[in-house]
Amino acid sequence: MADTTSKSYFWKGFRDGSPFIFVAIPFGTLFGVFATEAGLNIVQTMAFTSTVFAGAAQFAALQLLQDQTPTAIILISALAVNLRMAMYSASLTPFLGAAPMWQRAIAAYLTVDQSYACSIVRFEKEPMMTVPQRMAYFFGSVTPITPLWILATYLGAVLGTRIPESWALDFALPITFLAMIGPMMRTFPHVVAALVAIVVSLLTVAIPYNLGLLIAGCAGMIAGAQAELIVAHRKVKA
Amino acid sequence: MSQVDTVTIWTIIIGLALGSYALRFVFIGLVGDRPMPPWLLRHLRYTAVAIIPALIAPLVVWPTATEGQPDVPRMAAAAVAVTMGLVTKNVIAAIFTGAATLYGLLYLLG
């Protein structure tokens, strides 16, 4: 019986995760195109997309690679973009922490914005779910996008070799990032974090090795956390 | 197409793959059921929303393609992409309207 209910939770997850294919396909294709433009061959592009498996960090690494940034700074910056994955991991732990290690090890690899967003909503809505049901739902939510993300990257990489230089792709990557910013502005502290990071990044642009990016990132992060404390404090008082 | 050194690319790919996995595994795999300090979670929440705008702001104000000269099509495209993202909360819609603005203006302004 437990097995059949897990199965139905897998399909619930699958259904909830399906709309994200409309994000995964264009994003994966764009990554393939940009990676090719940045000088990566198909093997490198595919290794990148399937092992790192995190769109925004992959785009960030490509952009910095084109700016002649030292390798260490590229790694730190792209991993900073991925620090939110640690937060997802932390936030899923109370729900999935009791599952067998091999399942948690696979779940860690598949922890992305989409699987996290679907799962946390469902787990909080249905607190009576068992751990196997939660795992089934989590894996279901990421099943539609994973193969399509990898396939789309491949198609993009093949397509990328045929795009002429005159297409001004230099700015397509910034546009992709700018488009991501709007939906991130979920709360007032998120807005504060972004604004402080922008101002500091413009002020520190002369610092070598793109170190200004890390300074600005830290400043934005601290500003967001402080803004959250202030907002919470006001709510308590009111 | 630019030529990038193979060792650099593989260092980045392998470093990012291991690092990203470690970030995803650290809590669910190692911490298990133990609670997390709230101050840490509070800072983790704002890393992506700080680092992405910080990465992009200098590229908008001083674009590389124009050798750092501020440029109307790129500024306008940036404004459209941000605004569409804010209004619709739809990343794909924002990318396409931003790109349409860029290519439209590049074509019109020659």
Separation between Cα atoms, residue B107 and residue A43, nearest integer Å: 35
Assigned domain for B2 exists: no
Q: pLDDT tens digit string along A129-145?
A: 999 999 999 999 999 99
Chain A residues in contact with B23 by the CB 8 A cut-off are 79, 82-83, 85-86, 89
Assigned domain for B81 exists: yes
Assigned domain for B22 exists: no
Q: Which domain holds residue B89?
A: 57-110
Domain count within chain B: 1
Average of per-residue pLDDT values in chain B: 86
Q: Provide the token pair at A158.
A: 């093949």
Give A219 or B38, the one with higher predicted confidence.
Answer: A219
Q: pLDDT tens digit string along A173-218?
A: 788 889 888 888 989 999 999 999 999 999 998 887 778 888 999 9
Q: Which long-range contacts (CB under 8 A, 24 or more apart) does A39-46 make?
A: A39/B1, A39/B2, A39/B3, A39/B4, A39/B9, A40/A157, A40/B4, A40/B9, A42/A154, A42/A157, A42/A158, A44/B9, A44/B10, A44/B13, A45/A153, A45/A154, A45/A157, A46/A150, A46/A153, A46/A154, A46/A157
Q: What is the ipTM of this complex?
A: 0.83
Assigned domain for B77 exists: yes
Nearest to A97 among B33, B58, B89 (CB): B33
A104 touches chain B (CB under 8 A): yes
Residue whose C-alpha is closest to residue A24's, from B12, B91, B96:
B91
Mean pLDDT over A152-164 rounds to 87
Threshold 0.95, pTM exceeds: no
Assigned domain for B62 exists: yes
Assigned domain for B6 exists: no
Of all residues in chain A, the one with the smallest CA distance to B18 is A52
Is A7 a residue whose pLDDT tops 50?
yes
Assigned domain for B13 exists: no
Q: pLDDT tens digit string along A43-76?
A: 999 999 999 998 889 999 998 998 888 999 999 9
Mean pLDDT over A31-39 rounds to 91
Separation between Cα atoms, residue A160 and residue A19, nearest integer Å: 26
